[in-house]
């Protein structure tokens, strides 16, 4: 079984809809992250959390919100989706000071 899972894997939605992307991990890591990736670009950090009570904005948090429901779960919401939020979204986990482990990604298309 995968250590970091994301649901859904693919989603097509319309402008203005509320969307939630979910991430679960079985690695027991305290740190979790949400990134988006656009074609030809690297990973840009949206939000990150170092434990259940800790939520921090990344470099591109506008238009997004998150919830850390438990150590193992970190959800990303788009309150009112817009076309320029079309991207590949990755969740990741890590221990302090170590490499990140990524989920398989969610491909989101906003029409």
For the bound state, the minimum distance from the C-beta of residue 27 to another protein, rounded and expressed in Å, comes to 13
**Per-residue contact string for residues 39-58; x = within reach of another protein by CB under 8 A:** -xxxxxx--x-x-----x-x
Residue 70 binds another protein, judged by CB under 8 A: no
CB atoms within 10 A of CB 16: 10
Give the nearer residue to another protein in terms of CB position, either 17 or 98. Answer: 98
The answer to whether 95 touches 3, Cβ cutoff 8 Å, is: no
User: Considering only CA atoms, which of 79, 90, 72 is closest in space to residue 34?
Assistant: 90
What residue has token string 């906003």? 110
Chain contacts with another protein (rule: CB under 8 A): 31, 33, 35, 40-45, 48, 50, 56, 58, 88, 90, 96-105
């Amino acid at each position: 079984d995968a250590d970091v899972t994301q649901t859904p894997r693919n989603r097509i939605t319309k402008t203005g809809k509320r969307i939630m992307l979910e991430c679960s991990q079985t690695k027991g890591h305290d740190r979790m992250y949400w990134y988006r990736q656009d074609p030809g670009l690297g990973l840009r950090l949206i939000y990150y959390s170092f434990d259940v009570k800790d939520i921090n904005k990344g470099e591109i948090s506008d238009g997004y919100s998150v919830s850390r429901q438990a150590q193992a779960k970190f959800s990303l919401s788009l309150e009112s989706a817009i076309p320029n939020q079309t991207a590949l979204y990755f969740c990741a986990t890590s221990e302090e000071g170590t490499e990140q482990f990524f989920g398989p990604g969610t491909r989101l298309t906003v029409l």
